[in-house]
């Protein structure tokens, strides 16, 4: 199988499969899996009663309650359904800028979550993005589908690397919303360096109905670039050049802007009971990713 980015490394996948994603509740109308649905139906675990309504099946009536209280009530059971997991690795120009491309780290994070989801019977969709969302990789389920997702993502990455487009997260999220997919966990893996700015990104993020997990692929030099004097810098998104005089006050202003940028993203994630994880692309991916899985599980 074609695996140019070594996404199917056995040791990496073995570590991933020791982890679980646990949903607080999942949207109804899914497939059987391991998560508790917000729906109530004919599952295995009793949850509650409600008054009988015409049309309810007679077998759901609790006759013991009727004999004691003279009232017809229906037993409700908790349905166990799947949690859709939507993975958005950023494959834009800035993600290929480093000697060790951040895009490869983003794909590894995506394949780790794909492996976890498929292993627990969840439906997994991979939607790479840059200037636009690539929705050509169809969501799938089944433990044997991981290789297919890895191969499809590798093809999308090779195409994106050759194209070298910029980042437009807002447009990509708008397209995702238009797909009208069932509510699930949305994992966005990006450097979040979007030339349209944080306000545009957060405005579109707030329109999504999925629970967010934002994985910021970064390195120490992003916040502390170690630059000084009169230099010429190139925007890794647009390619534009700019002459800058780097002083102590300029660097302080830059760090404040950097911190404020990601604090806005963190505030959004918290408002949706989600998370923002900083992941150093120059360090071990799985070791950092495991920070999310306290006790072996991530609660979405």
pLDDT (tens digit, 9 = 90+) per residue, 232-276?
Answer: 988 877 778 999 999 999 999 999 999 999 999 999 999 999 999
Cα–Cα distance, 235 to 237 (Å, whole number):
5
Give the pLDDT score at 43: 47
pLDDT recorded at residue 285 = 94
Q: Which two tokens stand for residue 172?
A: 């990509």
pLDDT in tens, 178-190: 999 989 999 999 9
Which residues of the chain are in CATH 3.40.50.410 domains? 10-23+83-299
Distance, CA of 264 to CA of 56 (rounded, Å): 48
Q: Which CATH number fits domain 10-23+83-299: 1.10.357.10, 3.40.50.410, 3.40.50.2000, 3.30.870.10?
A: 3.40.50.410
Give yes or no for residue 42 having a pLDDT over 60. no
Q: Please report the pLDDT score of residue 24 as a whole number.
A: 66
DSSP letter assigned to residue 32: E
Of the pLDDT bands very low, low, confident and very high (cuts 50, 70, 90), residue 23 is confident
Given a cut of 60, is residue 32 above it in pLDDT? no
- On average, the pLDDT of the chain sits at 87
Distance CA 37, CA 26 (A): 5
The confidence band for 34, taking pLDDT boundaries of 50, 70 and 90, is very low
Q: What is the pLDDT of residues 120-152, one digit of tens each?
A: 889 999 999 999 999 999 899 998 999 999 999
């Amino acid at each position: 199988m074609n695996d140019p980015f070594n996404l199917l490394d056995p040791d990496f996948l073995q570590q991933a499969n020791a982890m679980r994603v646990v949903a607080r509740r999942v949207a109804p109308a899914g497939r059987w899996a391991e998560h508790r649905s917000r729906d109530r139906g004919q599952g295995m675990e009793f949850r509650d009663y409600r008054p009988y309504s015409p049309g309810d099946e007679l077998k759901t009536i609790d006759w013991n309650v009727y004999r004691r209280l003279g009232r017809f009530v229906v037993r409700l059971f908790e349905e166990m359904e799947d949690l859709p997991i939507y993975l958005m690795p950023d494959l834009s120009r800035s993600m290929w800028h480093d000697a060790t491309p951040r895009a490869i780290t983003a794909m590894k994070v995506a394949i780790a979550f794909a492996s976890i989801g498929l292993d627990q019977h969840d439906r997994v969709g991979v939607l790479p993005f840059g200037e636009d969302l690539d929705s050509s990789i169809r969501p799938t389920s089944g433990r044997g589908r991981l290789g297919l997702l890895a191969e499809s993502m590798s093809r999308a990455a090779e195409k994106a690397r050759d194209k070298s487009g910029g980042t437009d997260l807002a447009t990509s999220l708008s397209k995702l919303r238009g797909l009208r997919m069932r509510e699930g966990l949305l994992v966005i893996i990006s450097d979040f360096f979007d030339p349209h700015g944080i306000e545009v990104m957060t405005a579109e993020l707030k329109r999504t109905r999925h629970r967010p997990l934002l994985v910021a692929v970064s390195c120490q030099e992003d916040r502390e670039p170690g630059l000084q004097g009169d230099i010429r810098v190139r925007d890794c998104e647009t390619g534009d050049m700019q002459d800058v005089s780097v002083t102590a006050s300029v660097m302080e202003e830059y760090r404040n802007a950097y911190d404020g940028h990601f604090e806005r993203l963190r505030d959004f994630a918290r408002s949706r009971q989600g998370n923002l994880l900083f992941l150093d692309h120059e360090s071990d991916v799985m070791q950092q990713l495991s920070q999310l899985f306290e006790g072996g599980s991530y609660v979405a």
